[in-house]
Amino acid sequence: MSDLKNLLLHRNGFVATIQLNRPQVLNALNMELMDELIALFDSLDKDASVRCIVLTGNEKAFAAGADIKEMANATAVEMLARDQFSKWDRIRKVKKPIIAAVSGFALGGGCELMMHCDIVIASDTAKIGQPEINIGVMPGAGGTQRMTRAVGKVLAMELVLTGRFLTAEEALQAGLINKVVPVEFYLEEAQKLAKEISNRPPVAVRLAKEAVLKSFDTTMEIGLEFERKNFYLLFSSEDMREGMAAFIEKRKPEWKGK
């Protein structure tokens, strides 16, 4: 995709890094940016030369939320017709792992986009929250659901009802993010982790991600059955034979992604 207006794409080996690129508005997520992002995720998901995706912004902002100027005059019926947030479900359905590399503001839709990712590496300058209440609305792209599952009811309620921002350290303590590093290293750290995951067998990575995500949508009973089926399915992969043979022969496995 060469005609990106609001995103930058960088590739290194099996890792693709997408950078949100509207720095003049702290990467506010307008509809054009989100449409580009969803299309890019779709195309990277189908691209066999990509095994892991990093999503980042810049040092000052991962993203400061949905674009307020684009919504300020909209009616409910217009918002319904745009149906913007339902398109975000396509990010949830990306099969490859997505690592968010977050610095500065991750607010409102920016926080919700972060929570669509599978792993989050943050800089020590990150400020994370759901401040929609302060402009007369509430989270609309999953914030009330994903935040609550990630940090529990009482903290989610506080964040959603007051709009208070969490520091990176607080977000780490609350289990919302994986790791905090000094600001100069957050992207490098996320890309290092992405490289590590991209050196794992891709079919197993895919089915494992799918099984973890399943736990959000189902009962323990059905989730366990789903997990077991994915586990058994991996016995039909060449990489499973290679992985176990390499272990027994005390050598490094060579993954084919088959």
* Tokens representing residue 112 in the block: 């919700």
70 carries an active-site annotation: no
3-state secondary structure 84-95: HHHHCHHHHCCC
Query: Whole-angstrom Cα distance, residue 100 to residue 177?
Result: 9
66 carries an active-site annotation: yes
Amino acid residing at 137: V
Q: Which is nearer to ligand CAA, 16 or 34 (CB)?
A: 34
Q: Which is nearer to ligand CAA, 97 or 139 (CB)?
A: 139
112 carries an active-site annotation: yes
For residue 85, which of 52, 105, 108, 56 has the smallest C-alpha distance? Answer: 108
Q: Which is nearer to ligand CAA, 69 or 228 (CB)?
A: 69
Q: Cβ distance 145 to 130 under 8 Å?
A: no
Among candidate residues 16, 66, 101, 168, the one labeled active-site is 66
Cα–Cα distances in Å, from 195 out to 20, 42, 191? 20, 20, 6
Question: Smallest gap, in angstroms, from Cβ of residue 61 to ligand CAA?
Answer: 7
Query: Whole-angstrom Cα distance, residue 227 to residue 125?
Result: 37
Question: Torsion-angle region of residue 50: left (phi > 0), alpha (psi -120 to 50) or beta?
Answer: beta
Among candidate residues 132, 141, 194, 243, the one labeled active-site is 132
Question: Smallest gap, in angstroms, from Cβ of residue 209 to ligand CAA?
Answer: 24
Q: Cβ distance 12 to 191 under 8 Å?
A: yes
Q: Is the dihedral of CA 103, 34, 19, 151 positive or negative?
A: positive
Among candidate residues 36, 112, 170, 189, the one labeled active-site is 112
Question: Smallest gap, in angstroms, from Cβ of residue 121 to ligand CAA?
Answer: 20
Kindly provide the residue ranges of all beta strands, DSSP E only, lying in 74-228, ordered along the sequence: 98-102, 105-107, 119-123, 127-129, 166-167, 179-181
Question: Smallest gap, in angstroms, from Cβ of residue 229 to ligand CAA?
Answer: 35
Q: Which is nearer to ligand CAA, 20 or 64 (CB)?
A: 64
188 carries an active-site annotation: no
Contacting residues toward ligand CAA, per CB under 6 A? 25-26, 28, 64-69, 105, 107-109, 112, 131-132, 135, 139-141, 143
Q: Which is nearer to ligand CAA, 151 or 193 (CB)?
A: 151
Question: Smallest gap, in angstroms, from Cβ of residue 219 to ligand CAA?
Answer: 28
Catalytic residue annotation: 66, 109, 112, 132
